[in-house]
Structure 1
Amino acid sequence: MSLCFTEEEFRDAWRELDAPGLGGGWQLFTETMGVRIYRLYDQDTGLYEYKVFGVLATCTPELCADVYMDLTYRKQWDGYVKELYEKDFGGHTAIYWEVKYPFPLSNRDYVYVRERRDLNMEGRKIWVVLARSSPQTACTEKSGVIRVKDYKQSLAIESDNAGGTKVFMNYFDNPGGMIPTWLVNWAAKSGVPAFLTDMQKACSSYSTYCQRK
């Protein structure tokens, strides 16, 4: 895959592990299950951007990074995935991801690029994964599915020195259409911690999955 992100973008992500950038309007939204979620109001869209800080106590950062990157495995443990694959779209490699939404809302799909780097920063091992929507990728929109054209996510993880993983995640997407406020709030308050819990479980089963392949 062509490199889609700058050194500065990777640096900005991993630095949040040490010094969370929470100035300029970021507010604590919720704290649950050892996860703190902050949000920042976006004037242009009326939506919120989120930053997530927490610890996955039972898995190493290298394992987390491998599980996070494994699209085929994610289809087994993430119940919201309808379709997820990486392919070449006319010379441009990208990921297609369709997400199940509760009835009567339409499903959403994403076409995005991502890049992982395993960094050694003055003796610290830090794993960073960046992703963002790729509207220039030629991928026909499906009838009845709303294409998310404004999406970004960054993940930075390292050891918590106790056998677990220290996590930072930054996330924004504009799902389009008319989505009730309660659903947006639920996704941020409950969905993010639930995703991290599911991912921790997925990490514990990953070696068994790899042996069966």
Structure 2
Amino acid sequence: MCVCARVCVCVYVCVRTGAVMSLRFTDEDFESAWGELDEPHLDGGWELFTETMGVKIYRLFDKETGLYEYKIFGVLASCPAELCADVYMDLTYRKHWDGYVKELHEMESDGQKAIYWQVKYPFPLSNRDYVYMRERRDLEVGDRKIWVILARSSTETACEEKGGVLRVKDYKQSVAMESDGASGTKVFMNYFDNPGGMIPTWLVNWAAKSGVPGFLTDMQKACNNYKSYCQKK
């Protein structure tokens, strides 16, 4: 998810799924990501921004950029956690169900692997693109199974910028998922990016309030249709 959620939502890789591997995330990074599944860490100025459709969105003002960092808590009611993680990581499938994807693929430059992602923005705003690394780990914590995906901007992978598209150079995302105790998935996401340019305040507010639940709804549908998609490949 991004500051403009459905406008440039993400939501953010595993060797087992054939995606990009990196050793640039630490064990502590992963522990920090799943540590808020039970209880959010909201000290230091975090405020409840909105709550809708079972999703709570908190935000924290970043004085340096004048933007907000977000924490999102929600449930995908009928999507098992491992399936949810697989769908989230499938770049090719993402292009089928996420209408905001303009371009999305793995890339390599000078031995550095990363993902290139261009996101459609509404006219008259310019599209944004990302070059980032990510990693997925399937963890066993006591008797719990937790799936964690981390992503952040890659400054080590050379990728020429495209005319008319703004490059997002400050981006980070962490996603943690586990069973909700029934047939669904409990999800925690921590997200920040600086999309650059002049984005109207009303668009940022709309995206943060309605875009995140909208993305989770689309993600739910994508999970339900994934088996059929895989059978047709």
- Measured against the shorter chain, the TM-score band is over 0.9
Structure 1 outlier segments of 4+, above 4 Å: none
Residue 64 in 1 paired to residue 96 in 2? no
**SS of 2:228 mapped into structure 1:** helix
TM-score, L = length of structure 1:
0.99
Quote the residue 2:154 is aligned against.
134
Counterpart selection for 1:4 from 13, 16, 24 = 24
Alignment of 1:27-176 (within 5 A): 27-176=47-196
Partner of 1:15 in structure 2?
35
Tell me the SS of whatever aligns to 2:64.
Answer: coil
Q: Distance in 2 between matches of 1:197 and 1:206?
A: 14
1-side partners of 2:162 and 2:198: how far apart? 18
CA distance in 1, matches of 2:175, 2:145: 14
Q: Which amino acid aligns with 2:77?
A: A
Distance 2:26 2:163 in 1: 35
The CA deviation at 1:47 is 0.2
Q: Cα deviation per residue 1:78-103 (whole Å; 9 max; x = unaligned)?
A: 00000000121221000000000000
Following TM superposition, by how much is the alpha carbon of 1:164 offset from its aligned partner in structure 2, in angstroms?
0.5
After TM superposition, give the deviation of residue 154 of structure 1 in Å: 0.4
Unaligned segments of structure 2, at least 5 residues: 1-20
Q: Distance in 2 between matches of 1:13 and 1:185?
A: 25
* Secondary structure at the counterpart of residue 185 of structure 1: helix
Equivalent of residue 192 in structure 1, options 212, 221, 228: 212
Letter matched to residue 135 of structure 1: T
Aligned residues of 2:177 and 2:185 also touching (Cα < 8 A): yes
Provide the C-alpha distance between the structure 2 equivalents of 1:180 and 1:87, rounded to a whole number of angstroms. 32
Measure the CA separation in 2 of the matches of 1:134 and 1:184: 24
- Deviation (angstroms), 1:136: 2.3
Instruction: Give, in whole Å, the separation in 2 of the partners of 1:147 and 1:169.
Output: 22
Structure 1 segments unaligned to the other structure (5+ residues): none
- Partner secondary structure for residue 20 of structure 1: coil
Higher relative contact order (CA 8 A, sep 6+): 2
Shift of 1:182: 0.8
Name which of 202, 205, 211 aligns with 2:222.
Answer: 202
Residue 108 of structure 2 aligns with an amino acid whose one-letter code is: D
Shift of 1:174: 0.1
Identity value in percent: 77
**Once superposed, what is the RMSD of the aligned Cα atoms?**
0.6
TM-score by length of 2: 0.90
Aligned length: 213
Question: What amino acid is the match of 2:45?
Answer: G
How many angstroms apart in 1 are the aligned matches of 2:141 and 2:109?
35
Counterpart residue identity of residue 172, structure 1: F
1:3 CA displacement: 1.2
Distance of 1:184 and 1:19 partners within structure 2: 26
